[in-house]
Amino acid sequence: MKIMVIGGGGREHAVIKKLKENKSIDEIFALPGNGGIAKDATCVPIGATDIEKIVDFAVSKKIDYAVVTPDDPLVLGCVDALNKVGIPCFGPEAKAAIIEGSKVFSKNLMKKYGIPTAKYEVFTDMDSALAYLETAPIPTVIKADGLALGKGVIIAETREDAKKAVISMMQDKAFGKSGENIVIEEFLTGPEVSVLSFTDGKTVKPMISSMDHKRAGDNDTGLNTGGMGTVAPNPYYTPEIAAECMEKIFLPTINAMNAEGRTFKGCLYFGLMITPDGPKVIEYNCRFGDPETQVVLPLLESDLFEIMNATTDGTLAETEVRFSDNSACCVIMASQGYPIAYEKGYEITIPEEISDSVYVAGAAVKDGKLVTSGGRVLGAVKTAPTLAQAIDGAYGLVDKISFGNAFYRKDIGARALKAGR
Ligand code: AMP
Ligand code: GLY
């Protein structure tokens, strides 16, 4: 079997490492992959959004199955294009990926089908948005409609900041077309939980829960990033909350997408907040999270490739999705200055004996050496019987890895540990 994985981050590295456990897979191609992924797959220099080239490559190599991991190719219709030439895929078609691609769509879906989420208004012109903000409750949350590299959400603590955010999105086009329409929503409070799930459009099987750490600095200070570390499971996701989420959020979402003629297959990511009124949806993603995947997949005991095929074939109900009772921790090592400006090209040293525990995100091979090439450079991942051991283990790995201008948070998992497991 020849498999192709679209994307080139730490998440894709985690997917590829897990797929390699399946003995029917002979070769894995990563498009474009990265310098670290090159140890585990054949990297092909085709960008993740270059759909025409992806399809040509897949046809010429007779690829048997494709895993489309990042949001933008999914929203742009990469799965549709590959299906058209007869290549089965893991991931939703564009008409279902819209659940992440448009916040206006997802908010309206939740309202129509009674799925718990923050109260909101949609605005298509700036003057009405500014007028609404004169009396809106503060703090408030302003969201660009479309994909914005995780930066399209602004939490405004004052009316002035809220207006500035609206002007930057709608007049100054800070996020281009993504900010032409915006959502202004109620500010919710409570711990956040990420739940990735497998679905074939009929059955939904949640993966082990996880907790992201989005801010760049310790104690949740500094700028929002793609994620500086994760732990799994998330102690706030109790069995009672899990049952409530299945009944009020997960199944209703799958059914709502079917009712809209937009059957979702692949990985549906529920970004949840456990508010005093119960769990509510903060966002949907149409894909695996990064760096959630780096803690979730190492705990998966069942065969990932079989599960992926089951989401494509509609046989997920009969397919085992089993997770270990262990905990996992991922500490992201980034380049100083991320998420704004950072230098690249520093040599990365990873001792061979720990390389299996390292998921490489932003690295290239130059003159035979692995060098930094991105903001988030790699994730050090440890699984262990307890969360405390997993955290200690992950930081133990970090101590053995080095590259110029490295920085990482020192408190990944601290909140989860305090909360209980
Ligand atoms: P998103 O890109 O939608 O995940 O939003 C980024 C982050 O903003 C989330 O992880 C939350 O921490 C925060 N956020 C988004 N929406 C809300 C909300 N309605 N109330 C409070 N915080 C929010
Ligand atoms: N870690 C959050 C995301 O992948 O969107």
Starting from the CA of residue 10, give the closest ligand. 2
Ligand 2 atom 5: the closest Cα is on which residue?
289
Q: What letter does residue 352 receive in the DSSP assignment?
A: G
pTM of the model: 0.96
Residue 148's pLDDT is what? 81
What's the one-letter identity of residue 299?
A: L
**Given this chain, do its domains 119-186 and 328-419 carry the same CATH topology?**
no
Domain spanning 192-318, CATH architecture: 2-Layer Sandwich (3.30)
CATH number of 2-93: 3.40.50.20
Residue extents of the structural domains in the chain: 2-93, 119-186, 192-318, 328-419
**What backbone torsions phi and psi does residue 2 show, to the nearest 5 degrees?**
-115, 125
Q: Distance from the CA of 153 to the center of ligand 1, in angstroms?
A: 7
Residue 179's pLDDT is what? 86
Q: Which residues of the chain have pLDDT under 50?
A: none
Residue 168's pLDDT is what? 92
Residue 328's pLDDT is what? 98
Q: Distance from the CA of 407 to the center of ligand 2, in angstroms?
A: 20
* Contact between residue 82 and residue 66 where contact means Cβ atoms under 8 Å apart: yes
Helix axes 251-259, 94-101, angle to 10 degrees: 130
- Fold for domain 119-186? Dna Ligase; domain 1 (3.30.1490)
Domain 328-419 of CATH type 3.50.50.60: no
Helix axes 126-133, 159-170, angle to 10 degrees: 170
Starting from the CA of residue 137, give the closest ligand. 1
Pocket of ligand 2 (CB under 6 A): 150, 212, 227, 285, 289-290, 292
The tens digit of pLDDT for each residue in 214-241 reads 999 999 999 889 999 999 999 999 999 9
| Angle 286-292-294 from CA coordinates, rounded to 5° | 120
- Alpha-carbon distance of 79 to 112, in angstroms, equals 27
Nearest CA-CA partner of 149 in 290, 30, 27, 328: 290
Ligand 2 atom 4: the closest Cα is on which residue?
289
